């Protein structure tokens, strides 16, 4: 029998037929799992409770713009922020690869939320946490981290090119923990009798002022460059948004710090057929088949979903997205010194391109201001009862900007990263705001041009 020649058209038809089959067979399973997984079955510990956060309609903004503005309520994660997802992904991948040992120390340089999430999640995996944090971050963040059992180093803010930037210090701390663990292992392998007396000298491992004597090595989480950050949102947050909207959305907008959130979600949402296959394969456990289909449909995009960046003051990402350059000719990209007060927002805005951000699929960008973020936070608290942090407020500013660009009748999704509980000493401190000329005074949304 002669071999059958499969043309591109036949392959495409077969692929679409398989997808149709998967969709039909998965609908009933999705209906069942929505009920059982989200409401009836108890979660498997703290880690099991992370993710699957609700997508809520922000009524005041929706009514003011004529769009459906939806916020992914990430502040409802156990650790209180979207960074819980990243912490789990980073630790699980590190444990699986062997780079992190059970009982090891996870180190990170963080402006607060990732550090809190790592400190929350690490004990669930039998690990410890050491955090290096800028000393201009709201004091309550470091207090929370310490209360969670992690150790905290507060350092002065400097450029990422400086050896004492908080991220670079965190990297060194992981190396120091690994060096200490290596010495301890060598000591354990030495004969006990020899330990007591070597050529007349008492043998001992030099004590480390930061890590305990039972240190089992360190792992630098590296949230800015570690693509586990991107994968947490590409494999988790993005699919959840797609399912919760039924794919019926027009735009996504968020600010970027590490870039993982905006990159993972934007890339996932703009590959519609890939999105369906990824979701369906998880339902039906047909991973090998889905990989083949994904490979075939890799270039299929959904042009109807647009993704945007909202960028705070002091950040260079707006210029990069809209003009292709971070700074003016007088400034070298990635080497600009950070001003101690660039913006009141925390955890967003950056003056370099991270590996995570480079994965983003963006159609445009907006610049937000500090006063817009402050005014938005008070407006949402008054009209919706939403007590949001500074980055969440900036994201909502972005959602309104996108609504103004697209016009009424569109569905726009953003991320509500964390609550205002971590921002009491700065973002919600009247005296602090007054000192920086940021006292809110708007009665409505006039600060965004809406009456």
- pLDDT tens digits along 221-268: 999 999 999 999 999 999 999 999 998 999 999 999 999 999 999 999
Q: Are 408 and 247 in contact (CB under 8 A)?
A: no
Distances (CA, A) of 243 to 34, 96, 358, 382: 10, 28, 25, 30
Distances (CA, A) of 424 to 69, 106, 148: 26, 27, 19
Q: Are 66 and 403 in contact (CB under 8 A)?
A: yes
Helix (H) or strand (E) holding 185: helix 166-189
Helix 260-269 × helix 238-245 angle, to 10°:
50
Residue with tokens 């270039």: 299
Q: What is the pTM of this model?
A: 0.82
Residue with tokens 């000719």: 329
Beta bridge partners of 134: 155
Query: Under DSSP, is residue 99 helix (H, G, I), strand (E, B) or coil?
Result: coil
Per-residue pLDDT, 328: 52
Q: Are 124 and 239 in contact (CB under 8 A)?
A: no
For the chain, list residues with pLDDT below 50. Answer: 3-6, 11, 22-24, 26-38, 192-205, 275, 279-280, 282-289, 291-292, 294-301, 330-331, 333-334, 336-341
The Cβ of residue 188 has, within 10 Å, a number of other Cβ atoms equal to: 10
Per-residue pLDDT, 287: 42
Per-residue pLDDT, 7: 54
| Burial class of residue 289 in the structure, from the number of CB atoms within 10 Å of its CB (0-12 exposed, 13-18 middle, 19+ buried) | middle
Distances (CA, A) of 356 to 38, 86, 234, 374: 30, 12, 11, 28
Per-residue pLDDT, 39: 52
393 contacts: CB under 8 Å, gap ≥ 6: 345, 373, 374, 376, 377, 380
Q: DSSP label at 285? A: T
Residue from 219, 291, 240 nearest 18 by CA:
291
Sheet of strand 306-311, all strands in order from the earlier edge strand to the far edge: 55-57, 68-73, 411-416, 251-254, 306-311, 364-367
């Amino acid at each position: 029998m002669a071999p059958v020649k499969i043309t591109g058209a036949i392959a495409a038809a077969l692929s679409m037929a398989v997808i149709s089959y998967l969709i039909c067979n998965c609908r009933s399973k999705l209906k069942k799992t929505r009920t059982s997984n989200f409401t009836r079955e108890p979660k498997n510990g703290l880690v099991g409770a992370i993710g699957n956060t609700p997508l809520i309609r922000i009524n005041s903004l929706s009514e003011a713009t004529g769009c459906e503005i939806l916020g992914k309520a990430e502040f409802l994660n156990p650790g209180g922020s979207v960074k819980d997802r990243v912490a789990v992904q980073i630790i699980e991948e590190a444990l699986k690869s062997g780079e992190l040992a059970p009982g090891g120390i996870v180190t990170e340089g963080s402006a607060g939320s990732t550090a809190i999430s790592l400190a929350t999640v690490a004990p669930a995996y039998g690990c410890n946490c050491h955090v290096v944090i800028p000393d201009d971050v709201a004091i309550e963040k470091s207090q929370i981290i310490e209360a969670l059992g992690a150790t905290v180093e507060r350092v002065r803010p400097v450029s990422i090119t400086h050896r004492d930037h908080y991220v670079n210090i965190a990297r060194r701390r992981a190396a120091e923990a690994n060096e200490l663990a290596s010495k301890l292992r060598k000591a354990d392998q030495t004969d006990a009798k020899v330990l007591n007396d070597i050529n007349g000298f008492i043998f001992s491992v030099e004590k480390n002022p930061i890590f305990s004597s039972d240190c089992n090595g360190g792992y630098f989480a590296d949230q800015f460059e570690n693509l586990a950050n991107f994968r947490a949102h590409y494999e988790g947050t993005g699919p959840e948004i797609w399912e919760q909207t039924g794919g019926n959305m027009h735009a996504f907008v968020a600010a970027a710090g590490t870039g993982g959130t905006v990159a993972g979600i934007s890339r996932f949402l703009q590959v519609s057929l890939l999105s369906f296959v990824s979701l369906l394969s998880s339902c039906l456990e047909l991973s090998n088949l889905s990989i083949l289909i994904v490979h075939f449909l890799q270039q299929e995009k959904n042009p109807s979903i647009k993704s945007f960046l909202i960028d705070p003051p002091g950040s260079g990402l707006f210029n990069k997205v809209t003009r292709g350059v971070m700074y003016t000719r007088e400034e070298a990209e990635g080497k600009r010194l950070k001003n101690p007060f660039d913006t009141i927002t925390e955890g967003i805005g950056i003056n370099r391109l991270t590996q995570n951000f480079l994965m983003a699929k963006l159609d445009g960008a907006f610049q937000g201001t500090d006063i817009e973020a402050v005014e938005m936070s008070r407006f949402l608290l008054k009209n919706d009862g939403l007590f949001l942090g500074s980055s969440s407020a900036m994201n909502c500013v972005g959602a309104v900007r996108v609504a103004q660009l697209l016009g009424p009748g569109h569905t726009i999704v953003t991320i509500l990263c964390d609550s205002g509980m971590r921002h009491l000493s700065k973002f919600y401190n009247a005296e602090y705001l007054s000192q920086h000329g940021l006292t809110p005074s708007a009665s409505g949304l006039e600060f965004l041009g809406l009456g």
